[in-house]
Each structure stands twice: as structure tokens, then as C-alpha cells.
A and B are shown apart, each in its own frame.
Chain A
Amino acid sequence: MKNYFQGQKVFSKRRELAIRKGILGVLDIGSSKITCFALEFPKVNSIENYTSDEGLIPKSAPAFRVVGVSSTKSRGVRFGEVFEMDEAEQAIRTAVSGAQKMAKTVIEDVLVCFSGGRTASYSLRGNSKVISHEISARDISLAIGACNFEGLPSDSFILNAMPVNFSLDAKTKLADPIGQVGEQLSVDVHVLTGNNATVQNIINCVTNCYLQVAGINFSPYLSGLSTLTEDELHLGAVCIDFGGGTTGLSIFFEKQLIYADGIRIGGCHITSDIMQAFQITEEIAERLKTLHGGVVQTSHDDRELIEIPGKNNNWNDERSAISRSELIGVIRPRVEEMLEKIKLKLVEAGLDHLPSQKIILCGGSSQLTGLHELASAFLNRQVRVSRPMRVQGLPQAVNGPEFSAIIGQALQLSSPQDESWDFPSHLDFFGGRKFVGAFNWLRENW
């Protein structure tokens, strides 16, 4: 029997160590930008100092403070995947050294989030008989072990395996069955997998920069954590993260991720459409998109002229003008294509069965004017554009919707959830493993 969570167990151990050490980096590898945060964790007895600063943080959670922030233009990353190792490493080094400089410490371990990787969502179910009278962590791990992880594609890397629901005999919707009395325990595990090679490339990229990976996660899931309100998480909502190279979506229900996926179209494609349509450079196209871009035309837009450089792309020599409706005419089909694909994915995920079907937009491209109107018309659901929550010590400049994934990654640290690998592995209870376990115990508690 293969232990699927060995890699993730190493990550979580490293994360724990880094938190105890006091400094942990968070790295968002996106297609348009690479951002690095340096998080500072106080020593246990000095948490009070942090609570008095801005708002209240529950004392049980590891309170942290952002001490270093750096964001740089991404290189060698397309569709959220590493295409050029060397260039991607350079960009990661730029971001990390900037954050280190601001934090005045060395970042040793990083939590990585990425948005590509051909992810897939699986719902697994495992059954097991309760061994003892009351349910213990061992029973849960036995039930998780009964899930059919062998059935997953062989080239998949498990990013996320969250026990989302427990059923005990006739009861269901249990968040934590430990201590309850029953006979038959079954667990629903939501497994999010990425392409193994893609994830390994990202991990290699980070380790080549002398950093240690303390966790790897899927951006749309993290964006949902930082932008959705408590009620939305509970009743069910969709978070759509409009990134640079990809657009991710994650569905939450009962405060658990139940589906996550991505499409390989993003804001960079809109920019490249504008470049091709008006024969201008990428910088000017990006500028046109952010300053004048939109998706809903009005009659006034025909008369609103935007200056662009002429034939030889020199602003001073020769200029021409386009109307705003022309620009919208270039942007809108691409956005419609994106929303079309998202709609298909939502149908695939079975969103219609959720009690609440609110849609929350985040990510850099969600700032496109009129996007939420178009989205609500297209998807036939209530739509709002959200900004991520506040994090202690975070500068205002990096609190925009484009930073929702990395902020979500930081927030996940303060409200950690037990993943499947946080339970003792079911393999530890059998055969020769017992001896290994005893040996490990001796080594750890020496």
C-alpha cells in the first residue's frame, strides 16, 4: 500500500517548524506577477502585543504579521505553469529578495500557491467499522484509509485532501465525530489533484532558489478563503479568480471546499487581443485595458476617443485614436468566452444543487469595468466583486483583489483545518510500521 500523503506530511512538519522559528514566506506564482510575503510569527507569550494593534485576533490561532512584501513581474510562467525554469527562478529570486530586504530576515521556508496545473476535483468516500466504542482519531484515519486513493490518475499530485463530511450510522453532516458513539463511520474526502509534473516543476523552481517548500496550494481555493464571508462559505458560494493566465473557480459549501477547477484563459489574453487588434506594444495594451477597458458599451463610448501610438509605435511621432467602443469590442468577446467556459464548469460541478449560488469575483481582471454586470447576466446568478480581508501589517497597496490568493494563503495559517494527512496514517497501525513508529517516537522524543 502506497502512502499518498508522505510529501504533504513533510510539508506540514516544515510549516510547523517555520512557525515556531518565527518567519515564514508566502509565494504566489502567477502568470502576470510573482508576489512574496514574509510573515512574522510572535513567540507564544508575546501574542498579546499583536492583539492590541489592529482589531482582535483569537489567541488560540497563530497570529502573524506581514513584515515584508514584494511583487514583481512574472517571467517564464504561462497559464500558471512554469514554462522557462531559469526565468521563473529569476523572478522568484527578485520577489523573495525584495521581501527579505523589507523584513530584514532570511526567508527559509515558503508556502507556494499557483493557479495552473490542470487540476481536478474528486469526491471520495471511505467506510470503516469503529474499532473502539467511541470514535478516535484512529477510526477517522482508518475511514480515510478506506478511500479509494488508488483510483486517482497515476500522474496526479494531491494538493488538498480535506475530510469534508463525516457520517456515523444514520447521522450525517458531522464536522468532527471524535468522541461520539457509533458503529459505522464513513467519511467524504474532497481531493484536489494537480498534474504531478507541473507541481514538481514549481517545487523544483522554488528549491533551486535555496528555499524550502512548506506547503503548496491551489490559488482559487485560497482566493475563496480570503474573499468570501462566513455566511457565503456556509451557505455555498462560488469564487471566481480572474488571474493573468488562468481563471480559477472554487465552490464552497458548509465551510468546505467541494470543487475547484480552472480554465486556461485570463487577463493576459485580453491584453494580447488588444495588442493584435490595434498593433501596439504590450505595455500600451495593458495600459489601455486597465485605464479605459470595459465590457458594457454605452452610446457615449462611440464618441470617447483614446489616443494610441501610430504605425511605428512611437508615441511622439505619430498618433492615432480609437474609440472606447472599439476597445470594448475587442475585450468583450474574450470575456464572454471566459464566462462561457466557466458556466460549463459550473454545470459540470453541479452548482444547481447548492442552496445558495452566489458568485464572488476576485483576481486582477475582476476590476474590469462592468464585468460583474456581464457575469450576472451570463451566469444568471447574484454576483459581487470582492476584495480580500485585512491582514495585520499588510500595506494598502497590496490589499487589492489581485492579491486575494496570497492573502488567502496567509489567512489559512491562522485558521488551519485538519487535512487527511494531519490524522495519523492508517498505515502506521499495521505490521512492521509499528516498530518504525516506535523508533520514530524514540527519535523525536530523545
Chain B
Amino acid sequence: MLSLSQYFRKGSVVSAIKLSNPAPSKFSFLLSRFWLRKRYKFAVISMVFLPIFLFLFHFSFSQIKVHETFLKSFENLKADVLGRPEFTISGILVRVDNEILKQKIIKIINIQVPVSSLTLNLEDTRRKIEKLAGIKNAAVSIDNYGKLIITVSERLPAIINKVGSKYFLLDKDGLLVNEIMSRFERPDLPLFIGQGMEGKVQEGLKILIGFAPYTARVNALTWVGNRRWNILFDKERVIKLPSHDPLASIERLINLDIEFRFLSSDVLQIDLRNEKFLILQPSLGNQNSRNIQKYPVGEGA
């Protein structure tokens, strides 16, 4: 039991009286009024509490133990979030028919499943895949079942390009699709010989189409001097095309051939480089004809 004086000392009596009267003291009333003014509130917070908070922050983080504990708990939290099954990728699905290309893609993206999708950079992965030879474009996405889906559209080889002793498959834009060991791996594709024809593949293909009745007899197209085309015809015959507008020359040649049939005869070389003249080099075996015949062509003929 407490005596009455003890009660007073403890302040219990005073607090009991206060309970019956809810009035704020003069000081707390004044303080609450200051606190309701936004300017003072801001000033108090920025000038008193913010420095205290910053000091405490600095003080606590300068202790190595606190710092380590904080970092560790942060790492744990990070791992917890990354390890959530909602974010886990369980498999990779590459949508492409070509098995070799598929292996290449899986090798280059270098993702070991299971992995958290939050750590993946899909855009970066897509760029990596598109850098691969023979890939036109790629789309990388994650489906609802936690699978990484890579959809790839391949480049289709249009020609075989022979440089030195190497054979390359190029698409119609002249971009590399693959390297092959021998020309006979893809006998269905035309052979273009020479270096530096990247932008000219389309033109070469057009020449072949324009040379339509004899296309099957063309052995190869040669890119000469990084400037113009030669058609290697069967029986080791050569048709030299001009650098400017070879398609028109081809057309002219076909028209002349209807009349003179020299493509069927044993002409060694047909030179179309000069617009005004068609130069034929007959074969050595043909004794009746002159070494070189000149047919005037064009308007003045």
C-alpha cells in the first residue's frame, strides 16, 4: 500500500485529476497549434528530425557489423524474391527447325535453367541471337508456365559464293547464312564466284532469271574486278557483261540469239561490254570463221 504522500510523489493523483478533464495544457495547446501550421511542421521536421535521422544513419552504418548485417539481410531478401516460383524459368524452348542453329542459339544465350526471370535481360539475349549468322530476326519472351520462348526466323540461302577454295551460303541480301564444305552440298543453288558481291547478289539473280532459256546451262557467275559480271556458260564459254545495266545487255543478247543462234554454236567468248558492238570469239576448231567477228548492234546497226 502506498501512503498518500507517496501517491503525490508518483504523480498518480495528479494524473487521476487530469483524466477527468480532457483539457490540453497551455503548452501542449500551443505546441499543437504550431504543429498544425504546415510551415512550422516542415521547418521542425527538416531542421530537427532530419539531422537526427541522418546522424543516426551515419553513426549506425559506420559500424562494420551493422553494415554487414544490413547487407546480408538485404541479400537474403533479394534471394528470397528471386527464388520465388512465380519468377523461375524452368525451361527454354527454341522454335526453329534447324538443329544446328538451335544448338548454336542455346550455346550463345548461355542460360542455365532454373533461373530467375528477374535476372534475365531479354533484350540483350535477343540481340545476341540476332548476331548469329543465318538469323534474320528473333523474339524472346516468357510464357505463363515459366518457359523462355525463343522464336527465330532464319535467313534462307539464295546462292553459293566461292571465295578462293571456300564455299559460303549467302541469302539474297548477300548476308552470310552458313559455310559449306563443297558445292555439291547444295546443288540446287547457283554458284557465284568472287569476293565483295554482298550488295550485288540480287542483280546476279536477276541476270540468271533474264538469261532464262539458258539458265540451266550456266555453270557460275563471276564477279570480276568488283565491278561487273561474267557468265560462265557450259563448254567453258564466257559471256562478259558490262558493269552498267547488264540486264539490258542480256536481253539484247537473247534477242540476237533468236536470229543468229550463236549460243548454240561453239563460240568461246561473247563480249557485251561495249554497248555498240557484240564481240564473239569463235572456237579454234571452227576454221571457216574469222578469229573474231564483230556484229554491230544498237540503233545504228
Query: A residues within 8 Å of B by Cβ?
Result: 72, 75, 89-91, 93-94, 96-97, 100-101, 104-106, 209-210
Contacts and interface: CB of A to CB of B under 8 A. Distances in A.
B32 interface: yes
Given A100-B33, A104-B36, 10 more contacts: A72-B22, A75-B23, A89-B26, A90-B23, A91-B23, A93-B23, A94-B23, A97-B29, A97-B32, A100-B36
Contacts of A91: 23
Contacts of A106: 33, 36-37
B30 interface: yes
Contacts of A94: 21-24
19 contacts: A72-B22, A75-B21, A75-B23, A89-B26, A90-B23, A91-B23, A93-B29, A94-B21, A94-B23, A97-B24, A97-B32, A100-B32, A100-B33, A100-B36, A104-B36, A106-B33, A106-B36, A106-B37, A210-B29
B22 A105 contact: no
A104 B30 CA distance: 15
Closest 10 CB pairs of A and B: A90-B23, A94-B23, A106-B36, A93-B29, A106-B33, A93-B23, A97-B24, A93-B24, A94-B22, A106-B37
Contact of A209 (B21, B22, B29, B36): B29
A91 B23 CA distance: 6
Contacts of B22: 72, 94
Interface string B1-34: 0000000000000000000011110100110110
Contacts, number: 32
Contacts of A101: 32
A89 B29 CA distance: 11
Nearest to A103: B36
Nearest to A209: B29
Contacts of B36: 100, 104-106
A208 B22 CA distance: 18
Contacts of A75: 21, 23
Contacts of B37: 106
Interface of B: 21-24, 26, 29-30, 32-33, 36-37
B191 to A, nearest CB: 83
A210 B36 CA distance: 14
A100 B32 CA distance: 9
Nearest to B32: A97
A33 to B, nearest CB: 13
A36 to B, nearest CB: 13
Nearest to B23: A90
Contacts of B21: 75, 90, 94
Question: Which among B26, B29, B37 has the greatest number of chain A C-beta atoms within 10 A?
Answer: B29
Nearest to B40: A106
Contacts of A89: 26
Nearest to A107: B33
A93 B33 contact: no
Contacts of A209: 29
Nearest to B34: A106
A373 to B, nearest CB: 39
A108 to B, nearest CB: 9
A89 B25 CA distance: 10
Nearest to B37: A106
Nearest to B35: A106
B62 to A, nearest CB: 40
A100 B29 CA distance: 10
Question: Which among A75, A90, A91, A210 has the greatest number of chain B C-beta atoms within 10 A?
Answer: A90
A98 to B, nearest CB: 9
A52 to B, nearest CB: 28
B123 to A, nearest CB: 48
B35 to A, nearest CB: 9
A170 B187 CA distance: 129
Question: Which among B26, B30, B33 has the greatest number of chain A C-beta atoms within 10 A?
Answer: B33
Question: Which among A72, A75, A96, A106 has the greatest number of chain B C-beta atoms within 10 A?
Answer: A106
A106 B29 CA distance: 11
Nearest to A93: B29
A280 to B, nearest CB: 19
Nearest to A72: B22
A90 B26 CA distance: 8
Contacts of A104: 36
A404 to B, nearest CB: 25
B153 to A, nearest CB: 60
Nearest to A108: B33
A210 B24 contact: no
Contacts of A93: 23-24, 26, 29
Contacts of B29: 93, 96-97, 209-210
B37 to A, nearest CB: 6
Contacts of A105: 36
A94 B26 CA distance: 10
A209 B23 CA distance: 12
A90 to B, nearest CB: 4
A54 to B, nearest CB: 27
Nearest to B36: A106
Nearest to A104: B36
Given A100-B36, A105-B36, A106-B36, A210 B23 contact: no
A93 B23 CA distance: 6
A104 B36 CA distance: 7
B235 to A, nearest CB: 98
Contacts of B24: 93-94, 97
